[in-house]
Amino acid sequence: MTPFDTRVALLIRDDLMVWQKLNVAAFLATGIAGAAPEAMGAEPYRDAAGREHARLLAQPMLIFAADTAQLAHAWRVALERDLTRAVYVEAMFASTHDEANREVFLAEDPEAPHFVGLALRGPRKGIEKATKGLRLHP
């Protein structure tokens, strides 16, 4: 799939503090970039002084506000449709490094993780089904 065949959606729990929302969105975006290197822009950015800057995803990311039930629904749809997923659970706020994040995620109920954020990438119809009824994050 090319970036134009797919959509990217970040779903962030709506009751978080602003710093938490931004932190979760940043981590989720890197998860999608890592899982889908083909979605990255072809070339680094260069400024007028000739300095090189990192490539960005070559497609927009829609960021939605969601409550826990909406996150659970999106999770189920993502599993059913085999969408690329990046995850962030509440317990990750208390962990201090990458390995600890994986440990707390592994300890979650696999059928009902305590999500604060979820990023999805896949065909447009799958993303639309997972985000149906959600509003873009204000």
Domain positions in the chain are 12-40+51-121
Over residues 68-79, mean pLDDT: 97
Please tell me the predicted confidence (pLDDT) of residue 138. Answer: 86
Residue 114 has pLDDT above 80, yes or no: yes
User: In the CATH scheme, what is the code of domain 12-40+51-121?
Assistant: 3.40.1490.10
Residue 2 has pLDDT above 90, yes or no: no
50: Cβ–Cβ under 8 A, 6 or more apart, which residues?
Answer: none
24: Cβ–Cβ under 8 A, 6 or more apart, which residues?
Answer: 12, 13, 16, 88, 116, 117
pLDDT tens, 43-53?
999 999 999 99
Strands 6-13 and 61-66: parallel
- How many alpha carbons lie under 13 Å from residue 137 in its C-beta half-sphere? 20
Tokens matching residue 19:
């710093």
Q: With pLDDT > 90 as the criterion, what percentage of the chain qualifies?
A: 92
